[in-house]
Chain A
Amino acid sequence: MAFTGLFLISFLVVHAGLNACIFNDLPVFDENDNGDMFNRAAHFMGSSYVIRIMEIGLFAGIILHIVQGFALEAKNRSRRSVGYKVNLGNRGSKWYSRSMGLLGTLLLLFLIMHVAHFWVPSRFNGLEEVEGKNYHNLFQRMVDVFQSPLVVILYVLGCISLAYHLLHGFQSAFRTLGLQNKRYIVLVQGLGTAFSIVVPFVFALMPIAFYFKWIG
Chain B
Amino acid sequence: MDHHTMSLTLQVWRQQNANARGKFVTYKVDDISPEMSFLEMFDVLNEKLVNEGSEPIAFDHDCREGICGSCSMHINGRPHGPWAATTVCQLHMRAFHDGDTIVVEPWRANAFPVVKDLVVDRSAFDRIIQAGGYISVNTGNAVDANATPIEKTHADAAFAAAACIGCGACVAACKNSSAMLFMSAKVAHLSLLPQGAPERKSRVLDMVAQMDKEGFGSCTFTEACEAVCPKEISVTNISRLNAEYLVAGLTVDK
Contact = CB atoms under 8 A, between A and B. Distances in A.
Interface of A: 72, 75-76, 78-89, 91-94, 97-98, 100, 168, 171-172, 175-180, 182, 185
B227 A84 contact: no
Interface of A is mostly: loop
Contact of A175 (B175, B242, B246): B242
Contacts of A82: 108
Contacts of B111: 79
A100 B221 CA distance: 11
Contacts of A78: 110
A27 B52 CA distance: 85
Contacts of A84: 74, 77, 105, 108
Interface string B155-179: 0000000000000000001011110
Contact of A172 (B176, B221, B246): B221
Contacts of B239: 175, 178-180, 185
A47 to B, nearest CB: 39
Interface string B212-240: 00011111111111011000000110111
B103 interface: yes
Determine which residue in B110, B176, B216 has the highest number of CB atoms from chain A within 10 A of its CB, and name it.
Answer: B176
A76 B228 CA distance: 20
Contact of A92 (B105, B215, B228, B246): B228
A94 B221 CA distance: 10
Contacts of B109: 79-80
Contacts of B11: 85
Contacts of B175: 76, 93, 98
Contact of B76 (A75, A83, A86): A86
A182 B236 CA distance: 8
A93 B227 contact: yes
A79 B200 CA distance: 28
Contact of B217 (A76, A81, A83): A76
Contact of B215 (A79, A168, A179): A79
A176 B78 CA distance: 25
B103 A85 contact: yes
B9 to A, nearest CB: 14
Given A79-B217, A84-B74, A93 B108 contact: no
B24 interface: yes
B240 A86 contact: no
Contacts of B221: 97, 168, 171-172, 175-176
A91 B227 contact: yes
B243 interface: yes
A90 B234 CA distance: 18
Interface string B82-108: 000000000000000000000101001
Nearest to B235: A175
Contacts of A89: 77
A175 to B, nearest CB: 5
A169 to B, nearest CB: 10
A61 B74 CA distance: 40
A64 to B, nearest CB: 17
A98 B220 CA distance: 8
Interface in B19-48: 24
